[in-house]
Structure 1
């Protein structure tokens, strides 16, 4: 059963805020992982339809698009993106879907923007806004799917929003841009032959090969002025029999670089390392899957528009400089695939602790209405100019 959120009730404090908080609580209690956001898609679809949006869903994937305003004019078209998916992680000893990255908050704030626009009905013919509720951000695939679907082809501007940890922004602060780094996640395997524990000369121990990979990863030297890292995050070899020397194993790598150029250099080094180990140990190292996100491409016009929206909402003293983070977001695939887009992602201070992706992440939900107001002022200012 879908959760019924309160209808708008006049002013921002007593109407939209209640709806945003009720929506956030529902979404937080009903998380769905990447590509499985079926109920979330239907829930958002219903809310968009109730607000008079032209709604689009897809036959082959989750996600929903809502168009609000006048698309039959020469108005610029503004996209506002929110991510739908939750993480799969251990919470109190049980693995489950869990919104520990703030996507439930992002959806609620973007819906709040729509509801605030509804409170000024005379704006409807003077704006053209596309609400993009994108699946599968956590696996860095949803933005590319939306690009494939042509969702952003007609956009002039694109805005996103993301909660930020308390270490980056205090409650009541916001940044007009998050300069995410590039991220790649490798799932790979070592393929060799097993051997008897008494005859270690008959194979190459996949665990020892894994340790060689870890050792050599630490010896990759790239430009020290550009933040970067690479580490092994998963390794599995062997089974229940302790007298078998495993020849095969599976493992995962997490790669981070603050620029796309440095990421390309890092990947070249890793592929060379794999080739060298294959030749040395007479094994195969196969990369089965690569997931990831591009580093941010910043746009000064979009940043200035967002800065003005923050200033008008929170005051000039609350406008934080750009946030540079090694974390990634597939939002930046939109500008990599469509370079003409004027795009930026706002970072919202909300006293988020202990950190993003922590299974017990919490934040001050009073910040949600700050996000709604910043998005509203930013978008409306575009159509005033």
Structure 2
């Protein structure tokens, strides 16, 4: 059995799908029109579709077999303030991800394999909650191989290159509160100024150390304190910390250090500092087997010169909940170079659309190879520096 991909034919389909999705962005948990569009497309392709009464998103299924292979694309756009209104913009490439996955799903119908195919369109990636919701619904319980995709900034991958894995880091938002004691501004010795405590917390966080070979960062990204009158020493401050680490173990170590620091600082000032976890996204746990399959799919699509090493990035991605919560799933994400700039999440982000057809073919090949074992013996991770 061999895989075929009619690039000229599927290019037209991909362009039409991408154009619609790009011009109809919807933010997290609001992807109703996107869900309806994708469900119609999957149904027309012959997939059995499932939607959910309590959330957006759609899953398409086709075929039967011992092996279940799946593709996943995120659906949500980002919201940006424009005057008094919020405008949704696909500034993270999710419109491209959906277009590539849907095109791959279409192409797979022309390459029958003895397997069960799942096409997963997942909502709410940007708020780190969509994957967890679909996991609760059992979407990946029977999945053997799972492949995702994400466009990469030009600083990570140039156009025409593709990586068989994205080593995303872990990300955690800690919501904090500082309690002090209010006093008149003329009598500071009677109060505990929470702004001074917050300022000291920022300085002490910068003094934390970790293995310099593992990227990490801790930033205070939100701080609110003070009263309507400027001559009152404030007794309460609310803040947020954005914590990044390259591995899940390192993230746990940072959380312990932050908590110890907060306890010590509160004791020194006579204040109280409480920390509550917010969004918490795990670092990537990549399957060697899935990476090997994806690497072969890249080579067969782009040639040897198009295969890049795995991308190491501090950015988080809720795709990795699938493997953390369901360890039996063998998963990896395709990193696609498309000369994307100035960067992800920039409201004026642009990329070269001509590379999307490469991503669609790579994804379709990867699923076909996983289903048929036709990649075995053709590639070994030890043969490449990836």
Q: What's the TM-score once normalised by structure 2's chain length?
A: 0.90
1:300: Cα distance to partner? Answer: 1.3
Find 2:329's aligned residue among 335, 341, 357: 341
Structure 1 residues 65-80: aligned runs within 5 Å: 65-70=59-64, 73-74=65-66, 76-80=67-71
Map of 1:245 onto structure 2: 233
Contact 1:174 1:320 in 2 (8 A): yes
Partners of 2:12 and 2:231 in 1: how far apart? 62
Query: Could you say what secondary structure the match of 1:130 adopts?
Result: strand
Find 1:107's aligned residue among 77, 86, 98: 98
Cα distance 1:29–1:205, how it changes in 2: closer, same or farther (>3 A)?
Answer: farther
Q: Which runs of 5+ in 1 are unaligned?
A: 1-9
Cα distance 1:78–1:40, how it changes in 2: closer, same or farther (>3 A)?
Answer: same
Map of 2:22 onto structure 1: 28
1:50: Cα distance to partner? Answer: 1.9
Cα distance 1:193–1:61, how it changes in 2: closer, same or farther (>3 A)?
Answer: farther
Matched, 1:49 2:49: no
Partners of 2:23 and 2:234 in 1: how far apart? 42
Map of 2:7 onto structure 1: 12
1:328: Cα distance to partner? Answer: 1.2
Matched, 1:38 2:32: yes
Cα distance 1:191–1:305, how it changes in 2: closer, same or farther (>3 A)?
Answer: same
CA RMSD of aligned residues (A): 1.9
Cα distance 1:244–1:278, how it changes in 2: closer, same or farther (>3 A)?
Answer: same
Cα distance 1:287–1:22, how it changes in 2: closer, same or farther (>3 A)?
Answer: farther
1:267: Cα distance to partner? Answer: 0.1
Matched, 1:227 2:246: no
Partners of 2:160 and 2:145 in 1: how far apart? 25
1:173: Cα distance to partner? Answer: 0.6
How many residues of Structure 1 are paired with residues of Structure 2 in the alignment?
A: 369
Greater shift, 313-322 or 293-302, is seen at 293-302
Map of 2:80 onto structure 1: 89
Map of 1:3 onto structure 2: none
Query: Could you say what secondary structure the match of 2:61 adopts?
Result: strand
Structure 1 residues 290-305: aligned runs within 5 Å: 290-305=278-293
Map of 1:5 onto structure 2: none
1:233-280 alpha-carbon deviations (Å, 9 max, x no partner): 121222443223222122111111111111100000111122222323
1:312: Cα distance to partner? Answer: 0.7
Partners of 1:11 and 1:219 in 2: how far apart? 56
Q: What's the TM-score once normalised by structure 1's chain length?
A: 0.90
Partners of 2:242 and 2:146 in 1: how far apart? 28
Map of 2:384 onto structure 1: none
Query: Could you say what secondary structure the match of 1:186 adopts?
Result: strand
Partners of 2:322 and 2:135 in 1: how far apart? 7
Map of 2:302 onto structure 1: 314
Map of 1:135 onto structure 2: 123
Map of 2:56 onto structure 1: 62
Contact 1:90 1:359 in 2 (8 A): no
Structure 1 residues 166-177: aligned runs within 5 Å: 166-177=154-165
